[in-house]
């Protein structure tokens, strides 16, 4: 089969012929239809410090996918050959206190498909049956291929009660934009998203009913005044990983404001903890999705009218992977989906 492989310890990714995976008794084999290129994949493509320390050379990459089950293991129940599926990319160890309590997303023994385990940038991928999420008929393969990042957005946006609240999102990448759409869908009052890239802010306004703010050109206090906000934002969703963005967010929250943190800084930075203490701010780190509550909620929202399809800005054949990764690494404003069939 064709597979995109981290074949060398240097920047880049390569298409190779690999054997179709052999499944175990608790696995399924998925014929991949479509895949999304993730920020994690770009770290691997660029071969930065994190990737060099984390990803084994020779690994088939990719973890955002949709496809069809073509084989099931002997012990698999409640799944069938021919089902359209996506799935959770975090494979948990099942031995920790968290897993035994059903809090699978907190398992410290988690391994990532396409990061530690063979991934989905391939014609076929082996997935534990536990991780498989069947796709409703209303959700096509294209949306199925971006459920992983949408799940990040849903997990972040629903970290706090945002019904009727004013929400500030820093970072108008695809996940930030989808987080804005989720916030509006579930009933936030004002949703403001900030960035310095005008193309990403334009896309945010096309995808969701939000107020885009270019922080190079606009004053956030002025924007708040026009919206009739007297005290500040109730909830912040930090999606950029930029220290300055987090600092700005804290300065524009109400007393007792709440922040969900998904963006990962490139390196450590100095931070004024006194602002958190004296203004009684709640910080909550977010990683991945809650298994499997986030999946249930995002599928339900998509079936009830949440529309994030416009966040996909390019659709390309898998054979054109070199151009796709070049675009993604160059800061493509939206998601790139690769077609494998």
C-alpha to C-alpha distance for 190 and 168, rounded to whole angstroms: 8
User: Do 66 and 92 fall within a single domain?
Assistant: yes
| Contacts of 217 by beta carbon, 8 Å cutoff, 6+ apart | none
User: 10 with 139, same domain?
Assistant: yes
Are residues 117 and 14 part of one domain? yes
Catalytic residues: 40, 43
| Structural contact between residues 275 and 297, judged by C-beta atoms closer than 8 angstroms | no
The pLDDT of residue 267: 83
- Residue 112 structure tokens: 């990532």
H-assigned helices in the chain: 39-46, 49-54, 97-100, 141-144, 147-157, 174-185, 198-207, 220-226, 243-251, 273-278, 293-303, 321-329
Per-residue pLDDT of the chain (341 residues; tens, 9 = 90+): 999 999 999 999 999 999 999 999 999 999 999 999 999 999 999 999 889 999 999 999 999 999 999 999 999 999 999 999 999 999 999 999 999 999 999 999 999 999 999 999 999 999 999 999 999 999 999 999 999 999 999 999 999 999 999 999 999 999 999 999 999 999 999 999 999 999 999 999 999 999 999 999 999 999 999 999 989 999 999 999 999 999 999 999 999 999 999 998 878 899 999 999 999 999 999 999 999 999 999 999 999 999 999 999 999 999 999 999 999 999 899 999 999 98
The answer to whether residues 92 and 53 belong to one domain is yes
Q: What is the CATH number of the domain that holds 122?
A: 3.90.180.10
The partner residues of 67 in beta bridges, in order of sequence, read: 32, 85
Query: 54 and 89, same structural domain?
Result: yes
Does the pTM exceed 0.75? yes
Q: Which domain holds residue 128?
A: 2-146+308-339
CATH of the domain at 172: 3.40.50.720
Same domain, 19 and 119: yes
* Residue 95 and residue 53 share a domain: yes
Among candidate residues 285, 300, 326, the one where a domain is terminated? 285
Q: 141 and 158: one domain?
A: no
Overall size of the chain counted in residues: 341
Same domain, 133 and 164: no
């Amino acid at each position: 089969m064709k597979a995109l492989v981290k074949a060398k310890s240097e920047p880049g990714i390569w298409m190779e012929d690999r054997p179709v995976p052999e499944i175990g008794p608790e696995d399924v084999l998925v014929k991949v239809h479509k895949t999304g290129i993730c920020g994690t994949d770009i770290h691997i493509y660029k071969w930065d410090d994190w990737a060099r320390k984390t990803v084994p050379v020779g690994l088939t990459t990719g973890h955002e996918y949709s496809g069809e089950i073509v084989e099931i293991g002997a012990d698999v129940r409640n799944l069938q050959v021919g089902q359209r599926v996506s799935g959770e990319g975090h494979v948990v160890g099942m031995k920790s206190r968290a897993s035994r309590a059903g809090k699978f997303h907190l398992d410290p023994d988690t391994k990532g498909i396409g990061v530690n385990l063979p991934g989905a940038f391939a014609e076929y991928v082996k997935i534990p049956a536990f991780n498989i999420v069947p796709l409703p008929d209303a959700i096509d393969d294209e949306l199925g291929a971006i459920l992983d990042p949408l799940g990040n957005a849903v997990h972040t946006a629903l970290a706090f009660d945002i019904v009727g609240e004013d929400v500030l999102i820093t970072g108008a990448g695809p996940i930030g934009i989808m987080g804005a759409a989720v916030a509006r869908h579930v009933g936030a009052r004002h949703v403001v998203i900030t960035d310095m890239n005008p193309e990403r802010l334009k896309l945010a306004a096309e995808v969701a009913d939000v107020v885009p703010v270019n922080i190079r050109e606009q004053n956030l206090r002025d924007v708040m005044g026009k919206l009739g906000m007297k005290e500040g934002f109730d909830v912040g969703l930090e999606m950029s990983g930029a220290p300055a963005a987090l600092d700005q967010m804290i300065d524009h929250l109400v007393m007792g404001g709440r922040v969900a943190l998904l963006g990962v800084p490139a390196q450590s930075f100095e931070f004024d903890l006194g602002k958190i203490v004296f203004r009684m701010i709640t910080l909550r780190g977010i990683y991945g999705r809650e298994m499997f509550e986030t999946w249930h909620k995002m599928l339900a929202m998509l079936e009830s009218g949440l529309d994030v399809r416009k966040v996909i800005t390019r659709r390309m054949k898998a054979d054109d992977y070199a151009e796709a990764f070049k675009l993604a690494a160059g800061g493509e404003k939206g998601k790139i989906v690769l077609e494998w069939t």
